[in-house]
A and B are shown apart, each in its own frame.
Chain A
Amino acid sequence: MGTEYKINKLDTSGVGPLVDRHWNELREAKDKGMKIAWCSGPMFIYPYATPNIASHFMAGYAAYCGGRGMGDEVLEAAERFGEMRDTCSYHRLHTGMAAMIMNDWPVSNPQVILPTPDLLIGGRFCTEMSHYMEAIHRRFGMKTVTIELPSARSRDDLPRLEKFVTNQVKETLIPAIEEVSGSKFDEENMRNIFRSWKEACIIRNKCWEFFKRKPTPWTLWDYGVSIAPIFYAMGKPESLEYYQDLLKQLEERVEKNIPAVHPDGEKYRLYWDGWLPWSFLGKVLRIMVPHGAIPIAGRYPWEFFSHPDDIDPEADDIIHEWIRLIYTSPNTLSYYDGPWGGQDKIEELIETYSIDGMLFFSSKTCRMWNLGQQEIIDNIEKKYGIPGVVIDGDMIDSTMFAEDQMRTRIEALLETIDARRK
């Protein structure tokens, strides 16, 4: 009889109220005379720093719908409107919500509906983020401002791209936010957000240190849901409080020898590439855990400003500072999102967190993270002798999530790891 593994989740229930507060504030903003901006990509920081305008961001809403089990209804609405399943499910979530609003379609959970925006801010990190903004603009006709944010294919390109993006932000984005909100962009607000956010990221990084431990006291899924405070409560004291509590829990676990996997810790430490499957976190974990396998690290959850010491709230040009963090800072999210940089980042994570195998989650509708995945697996396997497999599905869309296929591939990966251990 083999070991009976069970998961011992960390208490991340503090995330729920933070998330609810964020979306409720957005829903109540118009009653308070504020304007609303919908944002795709990492441009949400600028309306955050401007008075009189509340902002939503695309991936956050998608994770919210997925995590609360509200995604399918909105995706069905999108399809009823004419959207096709080839397109990004985040795109369809937003166009589905827009269709519900436009047609006054009944909705079983009113939380999926957000107030219609006064301003659309398209940060074209991936090309489909632009398509979704364009579609919403065509349907509602509100003011739209779009910023091109290319991910770098080479480190040499980073300075040029950084300058380009900064120029766009100053030239078109800030004036649009000021025009719609009727308020001046507030540099001091932005510095305050940075100060508080930096503190939260420093504590968050201390939590990451616990992933190095064998057995680990927490899993990537515990951290995945804990991404939310960085965004939903960016610059607010709640964010820091959340991570302080998380750190305390982790310290207690280590002190009491409580691993994330009962009874004696994980047997397989896995790397997870791509988006987290927001609607299916539990299902995926239930496939892994009976084998003693858990996800430990991933490129996507590590992209949220992994070098907090480098965040400079006192930078001369605070507008540029955010773009610098995306491009030329050591964090260089823009480079790590691309295939070459992605490989560098994955190697770093594999070495730092003693990874046994790699799962590359390939979304059938979001190809941003899929770029070069099969090449990267091959390269890393050759360099480190660590096996990897691609598992396909979707972050939100349950019609594209085949549990048995995923089980077969994960089990095959674990068998390969076993074979190499012998």
Chain B
Amino acid sequence: MAIRIAVASGKGGTGKTTVSLNLAARFGEPVQLADCDVEEPNDNLFLKCEHLASSEVVMLTPQVNKDLCTGCGACGEICQFRGIISLGSKAIVFPELCHGCGGCFRVCPTGAISETPHQIGKISIGQSGNIRLVEGRLEVGVSLVPPVIRAVREQLLEDMPAILDAPPGTSCPVVATLRDCDYVLMVTDPTPFGLHDLKLAVAMVRELGLPCGVVVNRAGDDRVGLYRFCEEQNLPVLLSIPDDRLIAEVVSRGGLVADALPEYGLMFSELSEKLKKRVRPTGGKP
């Protein structure tokens, strides 16, 4: 099994996508990039991949056969999410609340419940140079994010290294991305918000038992004590990207920093060498 590196941050907009893309572009060998920010996937805006394949992400939701339903209430009793209710009457399904656990289908004593696929997202696979991109995209209006992220991960090839571009935050979508990765690269910036949210993200990564390192983006005066925090927590700072308006302009146009500004391209090559030395595949058993 090849290595899997997740790129995460507590705070949004710290540069996860920029780091993921440029790390992939300077990885020096074929690599997979998984866009796990399925609510707002952005990687392909920069890669403009040749499209290879796409598939639907579906969740199995219950359907009730009114002729067989006796209104016994067993389905409503097992459902923890109020996705199906039956109060002395025939069962009613609320698909937007369903988590697809299959509990109602299994407990129904008369076989009145069947499961039908309900589209919640889409997976696209593309290629750009050395990068094989697997993008997940949540359908607008759907609230359940982790199943789409799991579907992205299922499309990853086991024998090619992978970089997983995570969504912001510290809750279930991030956990679904980081689970069973070998290393987490946290991207932050030296602002009060950046440091505060990094602390939350570090607590989360430690809870998951994963090794991690830090990329400081928009580095300049460290007036919040970011580097001191990293030192105290034994978090290696693997790269500091200067606060350079040129980078912001390249990113705003959808350009790759490593290509447009070669001196930064070298920085990402170094980052990828450091990671290859540091990260060992664990096969999902940290």
- Same complex: no
